[in-house]
Amino acid sequence: MGMADYNTMEMMICAAARNLEDGKAVAVGTGAPCAAAMLAQKAHAPNLVIIFEAGGVAPLLPTMPISVGDSRTFYKAVMASGMCEVMETIQRGMVDYCFLGGAQIDMYGNLNSTVIGDWDKPKVRFPGSGGANDFGSLAWRIMVITPQDARRFVERVDFITTPGYLDGPGARERAGLPAGTGPYKVITDMAVMGYDPETKRMRVESIHKGYTFEDVQAKTGFELLKAPEVVETPEPTEEELRLLREEVDPNRYIIGR
- Domain residues for the domain of 134 are 100-233
Query: By the 8 A CB rule, do 123 and 117 touch?
Result: yes
- Domain check: are 211 and 243 in the same one? no
Active site residues: 53
CA 21, 26, 30, 31 torsion-angle sign: negative
Tell me if the pTM is above 0.85.
yes
CATH code (residue 78): 3.40.1080.10
Residues in the chain where the model's pLDDT stays below 70: 1-4
Same domain (yes/no): 115, 16: no
Q: Which pLDDT score is estimated for 4?
A: 52
- The number of distinct structural domains making up the chain is 2
> What CA–CA distance (Å, rounded) separates 142 from 92?
16
H or E segment at 36?
helix 32-43
Same domain, 125 and 209: yes
Q: What per-residue confidence (pLDDT) applies to 3?
A: 40
| Whether residues 115 and 196 fall in one domain | yes
204: β partners: 193, 226
In terms of domains, do 124 and 217 share one?
yes
CA torsion 81-83-85-90 (nearest 10°) is: 130
Cα dist from 121 to 116, 117, 154, whole Å: 9, 7, 20
Q: Are 256 and 239 within one domain?
A: yes
Same domain flag for 86 and 172 = no
- Whether 251 contacts 244, CB under 8 Å: no
125 shares its domain with 214: yes
